[in-house]
């Protein structure tokens, strides 16, 4: 009996060896299977660039080069967009064939997080939109993080940045912190920045890498529903600009003029630029105040098309005014060390030393907005354009409802009498909206 079991064990061992040999032979005959590649971890981003009707670009940075892939869709992330070209660490993937003004979810491979954004409306569409405007960040002991957090809470479908993100564009660590502090905002809000003087401390290398479309200069324009937004570069290095002095080339001026020629007359035209045409710091500094080069550029454009408003930064405070019929904003309270404005200068309608950002709403021929501090308190409100035609059933920003009330002030009445769109900023006292005390930090 014991002998029988011993023979049985030997037979089983022999069969086992045979099976093992056969498996090895099979494995040798089978073609090698490609190893499943693991996407490298995401180290910064994602953020969203170039929002146009039907498309948007997702950008992010990875620890190692790879071919970027983005999963996206309206309900499930079941569509795949793959990066063209060779493996890189600085990724750009364009999502195409998007429905207008539709919420999309997306996930970048290498990250477990899923985010959502709202796609751009069709160019010229008379649809209500909201736009966040802010700028001049730096890390500055967390002040930028406070502004970014408050701004992210607005859930705006579009953000305009007036330039100056980090103090030294050569410092990769400052960019890492900047992207960390902007993460919640930029993962969900398409981002349209302009070049600040601090973005040319490395000759624009980092700005180009992170934000600039690779096939065009830093000045460009986009149509976003009822808006035409011209992004100017007030620190154009090819025009001799340095971090301490602005410059606009003749080529940029000619482009701006031709760009505006194509814009329908009833379109809201906004200009985004770092150093604006006017600003009034309490203490004069070389390279600050309004830019003559930008004023000259805007003057050329205004001969072609009315400019509803210019959004700028460069000075670290909030200022709103109207000079020579041009409405302008200085929105530079995005986290950089605050400075004192001079609210007494003729044409300045309000100015405050405050960490702040603006939310602007466009609805048909109406354009109006509020400026808030980091606690969410409204520190200013304004109207940029109005007309007798109501803007429909849109639910307005609560702070703006007062502006639309029947007794909202004589300026509204004047607009109705004229029966056409006005383009001007105005004081808010008549509208029953009080300015809060300036916030200083
Ligand atoms: Fe600046």
Q: Output the CA–CA distances (angstroms, integers) from residue 395 to 128, 129, 135, 399, in the order listed.
A: 9, 11, 27, 11
The conformation of residue 393, written as its DSSP 8-state character, comes to T
Cα(164) to centroid(ligand 1), Å: 5
Residues 42-118, CATH architecture = Sandwich (2.60)
Q: What backbone torsions phi and psi does residue 72 show, to the nearest 5 degrees? A: -155, 165
- The dihedral built from the CA positions of residue 107, 111, 115 and 121, taken in this order, carries a sign that is negative
pLDDT of residue 389: 81
Cα(109) to centroid(ligand 1), Å: 35
- CA–CA separation, 172 vs 8, rounded Å? 70
Cα(154) to centroid(ligand 1), Å: 25
pLDDT-flagged residues of the chain (< 50): 1-21, 23-31, 33-34, 405-441
- CA–CA separation, 191 vs 40, rounded Å? 25
- CA–CA separation, 236 vs 195, rounded Å? 8
- CA–CA separation, 282 vs 10, rounded Å? 98
| Chain center to CA of 416 | 34
Pairing of the two strands 268-272 and 55-66? unpaired
Cα(274) to centroid(ligand 1), Å: 7
The conformation of residue 217, written as its DSSP 8-state character, comes to -
User: Are the beta carbons of 169 and 207 closer than 8 angstroms?
Assistant: yes
Cβ burial of 301 (10 Å; 0-12, 13-18, 19+) is: buried
β partners of residue 360:
131, 369
pLDDT of residue 100: 97
User: Are the beta carbons of 336 and 138 closer than 8 angstroms?
Assistant: yes
β partners of residue 242:
245
- CA–CA separation, 83 vs 415, rounded Å? 50
CB atoms within 10 A of CB 393: 6
Cα(283) to centroid(ligand 1), Å: 15
Cα(415) to centroid(ligand 1), Å: 36
Going along 96-205, which residue ranges are E strands? Answer: 103-108, 115-118, 129-134, 159-161, 191-193
Closest CA relative to residue 271, chosen from 238, 305, 242, 244: 305
- CA–CA separation, 390 vs 377, rounded Å? 27
Cα(77) to centroid(ligand 1), Å: 39
Cα(203) to centroid(ligand 1), Å: 14
pLDDT of residue 12: 45
Closest CA relative to residue 361, chosen from 189, 150, 133, 121: 133
CATH number of 129-431: 3.60.21.10
User: Are the beta carbons of 182 and 193 closer than 8 angstroms?
Assistant: no
Cα(162) to centroid(ligand 1), Å: 9
Each domain of the chain, given as residue ranges in start order, spans 42-118, 129-431
pLDDT of residue 391: 78
- CA–CA separation, 382 vs 406, rounded Å? 16
Cα(378) to centroid(ligand 1), Å: 25
Q: What backbone torsions phi and psi does residue 319 show, to the nearest 5 degrees? A: -145, 140
The conformation of residue 100, written as its DSSP 8-state character, comes to T
Cα(251) to centroid(ligand 1), Å: 22
Instruction: Compute and round to an integer the Cα radius of gyration of the chain.
Output: 27
pLDDT of residue 207: 96
- CA–CA separation, 139 vs 99, rounded Å? 36
Cα(139) to centroid(ligand 1), Å: 14
Cα(271) to centroid(ligand 1), Å: 17
């Amino acid at each position: 009996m014991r002998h029988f079991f011993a023979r049985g064990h030997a037979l089983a061992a022999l069969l086992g060896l045979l099976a093992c040999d056969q498996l090895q032979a099979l494995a040798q005959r089978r073609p090698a299977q490609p190893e499943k590649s693991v996407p490298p971890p995401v180290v910064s981003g994602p953020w969203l660039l170039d929002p146009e009707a039907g498309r948007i670009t997702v950008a992010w940075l990875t620890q190692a080069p790879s071919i970027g892939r983005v999963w996206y869709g309206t309900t499930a992330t079941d569509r795949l967009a793959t990066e063209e070209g060779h493996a890189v660490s600085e990724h750009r993937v364009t999502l195409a064939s998007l429905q207008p003004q539709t919420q999309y979810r997306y996930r970048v491979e290498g990250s477990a997080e899923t985010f959502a954004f709202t796609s751009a409306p069709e160019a010229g569409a008379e649809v209500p939109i909201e736009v966040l405007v802010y700028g001049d960040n730096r890390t500055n002991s967390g002040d930028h993080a406070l502004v970014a957090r408050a701004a992210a809470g607005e859930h705006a479908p579009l953000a305009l940045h007036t330039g100056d993100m980090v103090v030294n564009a050569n410092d990769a660590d400052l960019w890492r912190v900047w992207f960390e502090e902007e993460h919640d905002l930029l993962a969900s809000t398409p981002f349209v920045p302009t070049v600040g003087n601090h973005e040319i401390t490395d000759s624009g290398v980092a700005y180009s890498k992170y934000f600039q479309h690779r096939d065009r200069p830093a000045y460009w324009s986009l149509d976003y529903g009822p808006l035409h937004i011209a992004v100017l570069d007030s620190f154009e290095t090819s025009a001799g600009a340095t971090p301490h002095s602005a410059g606009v080339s003749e080529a940029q001026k000619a482009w701006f003029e031709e760009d505006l020629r194509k814009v329908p007359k009833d379109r809201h035209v906004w200009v985004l630029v770092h150093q604006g045409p006017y600003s009034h710091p309490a203490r004069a500094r070389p390279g600050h105040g309004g830019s003559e080069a930008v004023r000259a550029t805007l003057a050329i454009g205004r001969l072609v098309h009315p400019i509803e408003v210019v959004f700028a930064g460069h000075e670290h405070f909030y200022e709103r005014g109207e000079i020579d019929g041009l409405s302008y904003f200085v929105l530079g309270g995005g986290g950089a060390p605050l400075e004192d404005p001079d609210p007494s200068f003729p044409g300045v309608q309000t100015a405050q030393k405050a960490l702040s950002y603006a939310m602007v709403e466009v609805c048909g021929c109406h354009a109006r907005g509020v400026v808030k501090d980091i606690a969410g308190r409204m520190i200013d409100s304004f109207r940029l354009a109005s007309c007798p035609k109501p803007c429909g059933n849109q639910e307005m920003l609560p702070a703006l409802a007062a502006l639309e009330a029947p007794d909202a002030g004589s300026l509204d009445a004047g607009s109705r009498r004229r029966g056409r769109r006005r383009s001007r900023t105005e004081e808010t006292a008549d509208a029953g909206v009080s300015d809060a005390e300036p916030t200083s930090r």
